[in-house]
């Protein structure tokens, strides 16, 4: 299994090389473990907050959304407690 460094996500956003810039998020995330994705999210959030370029900030935010919505939940499904009880939902 090839592991993807968290830096690869930021490089995908800022690269001028189309071969790197046009990589799909699925290609970046599909082989990552839970800890690698969490590390990538931390790096993307740090990048997003410090970046002066609006387009790059928006792209980083979109990556963060997609990772949290589509890639982290399946990895967390077997992690044990974490479901919200109905009383908490109703509150």
Average pLDDT over all residues of the chain: 88
Confidence of residue 43 (pLDDT cuts 50, 70, 90): very high
CA distances from 69 to 16, 75, 90 (A): 27, 11, 22
- pTM value is 0.80
CA distances from 60 to 4, 6, 86, 89 (A): 17, 12, 33, 30
**21 has a pLDDT exceeding 90:** yes
**80 has a pLDDT exceeding 70:** no
Confidence of residue 13 (pLDDT cuts 50, 70, 90): very high
> Helix 34-50 vs helix 54-66: angle between axes, to the nearest 10 degrees?
160
């Amino acid at each position: 299994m090839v592991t993807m460094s968290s830096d690869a996500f930021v490089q995908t956003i800022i690269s001028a090389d189309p071969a790197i810039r046009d990589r799909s998020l699925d290609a970046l995330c599909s082989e990552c473990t839970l800890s690698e994705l969490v590390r990538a999210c931390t790096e993307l959030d740090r990048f997003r907050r410090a970046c002066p370029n609006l387009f790059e900030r928006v792209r980083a935010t979109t990556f963060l959304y997609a990772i949290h919505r589509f890639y982290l939940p399946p990895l967390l499904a077997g992690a044990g407690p974490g479901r919200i009880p109905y009383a908490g939902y109703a509150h």
